[in-house]
Structure 1
């Protein structure tokens, strides 16, 4: 028997729900094929698929603007850095 110690086990997903489970009411079967029903839709109790869909929606948001909170945090950290190195801001002002 050949054993490979460096090969990782393949992750397998098994999402079983009984045929007459109440969570499958929203899945409307069509008469195309036996497997096409499960290709595009998923169960209401499939939390992993819901989580993946929400992550995909958050990644592809239409709002691509920079968050104001992020700008304020970066500005605050820059000011702290300039204070630590004792930066003199008077060189930018002419008196």
Structure 2
């Protein structure tokens, strides 16, 4: 019997995306092969014209904004109110400080 894997704690491994282009298919345009050492290296970073999933993923990455990364003040106020309600329920006394 092997070790037990806890998938709740550790994230599952995501599948790798296979970027395959047949030999005589001209699906990848605009790749300058002279910049790379081999032809395989030149085409690994580009996507096929009909690979809509990869194009969609790149468009999502480019359109993301970091405007909502700061801590929300509404959440801070709600947490403070809940802490004060909890302290009132357990009859916390501030005179001990």
Is the pair's TM-score, using the shorter chain for normalization, greater than 0.5?
Answer: no
Question: Into which bin does the TM-score normalised by the smaller protein fall?
Answer: 0.3 to 0.5
TM-score between the two structures when normalised by the length of structure 2: 0.42
TM-score between the two structures when normalised by the length of structure 1: 0.43
